[in-house]
């Protein structure tokens, strides 16, 4: 289920956003929203590059709170930067949701992770 949620949020949800909010130029908007997945290139700078069950939020350079502030600020710019901001914020929400699913399965496994404060706070709110 986690796999479906993650990839639907990265591929399907942007299509719905493009079709609903950018009707006249939905193809261009969808392409921009998909292009924001290039933010995951920062995974190539990690050591190891891939680690199963690693929460990318707060760990990778372009998934830090500082980067997220920039992504939110992009929402206030004109198109196409606003569309890119939407895609980047959606990407971070998707990755955080993925982290929450993993955290729900093993909260102690994520103690000390960069996203630990946010994961534990949201986990308490959700009763995990």
Q: Which residues does 76 contact at the CB level (< 8 Å), separation at least 6?
A: 82, 85
* Per-residue pLDDT tens over the stretch 83-104: 999 999 999 999 999 999 998 8
What's the confidence (pLDDT) of residue 49?
87
Output the pLDDT for position 57: 93
Does a cis peptide bond (omega within 30 degrees of 0) precede residue 80? yes
pLDDT for 12 equals 95
Q: How far apart are CA 119 and CA 80, in angstroms?
A: 31
- Which of the residues in the chain have pLDDT under 50? none
The SS3 of residue 83 is: helix
Predicted model pTM? 0.91
pLDDT value of position 86: 97
Angstrom distance (rounded) from CA 104 to CA 12? 24
- Rounded (5°) CA angle 114-115-119: 150
The pLDDT value given to residue 21: 95
- pLDDT score, position 93: 95
Kindly report the backbone phi and psi dihedral angles of residue 73, in degrees, each rounded to the nearest multiple of 5, phi listed first.
-60, -30
């Amino acid at each position: 289920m986690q796999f479906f949620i993650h990839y639907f949020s990265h591929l399907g949800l942007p299509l719905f956003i493009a079709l609903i909010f950018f009707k006249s130029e939905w193809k261009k908007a969808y392409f921009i929203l998909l292009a924001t997945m290039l933010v995951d290139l920062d995974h190539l700078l990690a050591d190891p590059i891939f680690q199963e069950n690693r929460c990318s939020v707060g760990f990778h350079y372009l998934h830090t709170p500082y980067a997220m502030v920039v992504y939110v600020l992009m929402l206030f710019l004109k198109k196409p930067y606003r569309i890119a901001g939407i895609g980047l914020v959606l990407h971070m929400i998707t990755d955080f949701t993925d982290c929450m699913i993993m955290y729900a399965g093993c909260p102690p496994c994520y103690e000390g992770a960069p996203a630990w404060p946010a994961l534990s706070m949201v986990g308490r709110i959700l009763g995990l």
